[in-house]
Structure 1
Amino acid sequence: MIYIGNHLSSSKGFEAMGKAALKLGANTFAFFTRNPRGGKAKEIDPADAERLRSLMEEHHFGKLVAHAPYTMNVCAAKSDIREFSWNILKDDMERMEYLPGNYYNFHPGAHVGQGAEEAIPVIADALNHAIKPDQSTVVLLETMAGKGSEVGRNFEELERIIELVDCKDKIGVCFDTCHTWDGGYDLVEDLGGVLRTFDQIIGLDRLKAVHLNDSMNVRDSHKDRHQKIGEGEIGAEALKRIVTHPLLAGRLFILETPNDDAGYAREIAMIKSWADESME
């Protein structure tokens, strides 16, 4: 069984997102914990969260992937932005327990001139400040394209963060295909080699979810421009090999392609057909 979904708006509540996912043919989804460009989070309705949990159980959903807001930069050079971001991370860890046992994905951050070597311990400190040993949420570091001063532009930088995190059982990775391709990894001609490299450096057991996106840019561009499945430089055949690769079996696949609902429904149906073909 493949778990495939897309990003949904959380503004109407948890149950509404679950119903919207079902309408698109999805059996998982991603959502922002708060306005992706803002800071204040909407108050959680525990009854609404319970209704979503019931719906997920009834329809055999996979785990969900919550996403931190883009304004969160836990390794920011400016202390006020860093404090603001640490508070968001801590608050989101507490809020995620209304939907226990799911994933929380975030961009590791941008060092803005400090250098990755200085930023990496700060990112780990933020995680150690926010993660509690008894929480049910697993935090996912996202693979990044390496634009500007992004941290996480290669597997080695992510591994160095993980090494400094105390609760290592609460940390994983979200593998973004567009970002990884734009970051220089050849997903088209050497997918097996990329996955072996990931396994050697980080460990495939930490790869919990995949952001399945095509890319507008050629490999190693460090630009981060998502494209619809099959309309970019990675291409449908390479993305199909990712979806059906045995080493990625059981992972969640989340679409972040530039689409409307009809487009997402088409992509979800197409990816499900790829998975069905691989089982024949």
Structure 2
Amino acid sequence: MLRIGCHLSSSRGFLAMGKEAVKIGANTFQFFTRNPRGGKARERNPEDIAAYLEFAKEHGIAQILAHAPYTLNACAKDEGLRQFAYDIMCDDLSRLEYFPEAMYNFHPGSHVKQGAERGVELIADMLNRINEKEYHAWILLETMAGKGTEMGRNFEELRAVIDRVEDSSRLGVCLDTCHVFDSGYDIVNHLEEVIKEFQRVIGLERLKAMHLNDSMYGLESHKDRHAKIGEGKIGLETFRAIVTHPALCSLPFFLETPNDLEGYGREIALLRKISDNS
């Protein structure tokens, strides 16, 4: 069965997110660990977590994806900002210890004119420090669209980070369809070649999740503007090919399209339909 969900608000707790997921036909979901622009995380609520875990078991919800706030920059020029990123990630990962098979996704950051090589060094340094804590969650580097000095604009930059992490056994990648298309990987006309390139550079065993987003601007635009499934430059046929591809179909898929809950439900139903009919 297709594992698919969307981004849900964590403001009302985990049980509420689980119920919303089931309501719209999802069997997984993504959530921000705290306000995406920064701020404190919600206080831990053991009763809510326990109730959610029981609900998730009953309804087949597995391997949820936590998303770090956008304000984290592991390769910032300022040491204080890098320490802030480290502290927030440690706090987030400690909270995920309650959740089996949890994954934690973050944007690699921006090197702020220090150069990509320095960016790689700083990101890997933070991940090495985090590994000393021995958290269990998978940490996922997200593929990015390549705006400005953004890291993760190509597979080679992510591979360079992985290579510098001393223990990369729980380090993976979340591939965002809008981001990779906007960065220059033509998944519309050359999906098979892009998959082979990912395998060559990073290895498909490290691909642990996908963000399914159409693109408002398109190939090599470096804009990172998401569109609803089938309403952008990527198009529905490419998403059909993705969710049915032997190398991808078993991954958890997460929608980040500009939608409300009802709209997410329609997209989930659409992607299930094209998956089942292919």
Q: Distance in 2 between matches of 1:15 and 1:99?
A: 13
SS of equivalent to 2:184? coil
**Equivalent residue, structure 2, for 1:162:** 162
**Equivalent residue, structure 2, for 1:123:** 123
Task: Indicate if the aligned counterparts of 2:217 and 2:233 stay in contact, CA closer than 8 A.
Answer: yes
Residue 80 (1) aligns with residue 80 (2): yes
**Equivalent residue, structure 2, for 1:13:** 13
Residue 228 (1) aligns with residue 228 (2): yes
- Specify the code of the residue in structure 2 equivalent to 1:209: A
Give the TM-score, by structure 2 length.
0.97
Q: Distance in 1 between matches of 2:7 and 2:132?
A: 27
- Specify the code of the residue in structure 2 equivalent to 1:152: G
The alpha carbon displacement at 1:133 in A equals 7.1
The alpha carbon displacement at 1:168 in A equals 1.2
Task: Indicate if the aligned counterparts of 2:62 and 2:101 stay in contact, CA closer than 8 A.
Answer: no
Q: Distance in 2 between matches of 1:62 and 1:254?
A: 13
Percent sequence identity is 55
SS of equivalent to 1:139? strand
SS of equivalent to 1:62? coil
Question: After superposition, where does 1:131-280 map in structure 2 within 5 Å?
Answer: 131-132=131-132, 134-278=134-278
Give the TM-score, by structure 1 length.
0.97
Q: Distance in 1 between matches of 2:272 and 2:97?
A: 30
Runs of 4+ displaced beyond 3 Å: none
Residue by residue over 1:152-197, the C-alpha shift from the partner in whole angstroms, topping out at 9 and shown as x without a partner, is 0000000010111122111000000000000000101110000000
SS of equivalent to 2:247? helix
The alpha carbon displacement at 1:24 in A equals 1.0
SS of equivalent to 2:27? coil
Q: Distance in 1 between matches of 2:149 and 2:87?
A: 22
Residue by residue over 1:199-255, the C-alpha shift from the partner in whole angstroms, topping out at 9 and shown as x without a partner, is 010000110100000000120111100000010000011111111111112100000
Q: What RMSD in Å do the two structures reach over aligned CA positions?
A: 1.1
Q: Identify unmatched segments of 5+ residues in structure 1.
A: none
- Specify the code of the residue in structure 2 equivalent to 1:257: T
The alpha carbon displacement at 1:70 in A equals 0.4
The alpha carbon displacement at 1:131 in A equals 2.5
**Equivalent residue, structure 2, for 1:70:** 70
Task: Indicate if the aligned counterparts of 1:39 and 1:88 stay in contact, CA closer than 8 A.
Answer: no
The alpha carbon displacement at 1:82 in A equals 1.4
Task: Indicate if the aligned counterparts of 1:30 and 1:64 stay in contact, CA closer than 8 A.
Answer: yes
SS of equivalent to 2:173? strand
Residue by residue over 1:95-154, the C-alpha shift from the partner in whole angstroms, topping out at 9 and shown as x without a partner, is 111213210000001111111100111101111111357432000000000001110000
Q: Distance in 2 between matches of 1:95 and 1:261?
A: 26
Q: Distance in 2 between matches of 1:53 and 1:132?
A: 27
- Specify the code of the residue in structure 1 equivalent to 2:230: G
Q: Identify unmatched segments of 5+ residues in structure 2.
A: none
Q: Distance in 1 between matches of 2:94 and 2:131?
A: 9
Q: Distance in 2 between matches of 1:96 and 1:65?
A: 10
Q: Distance in 1 between matches of 2:125 and 2:107?
A: 15
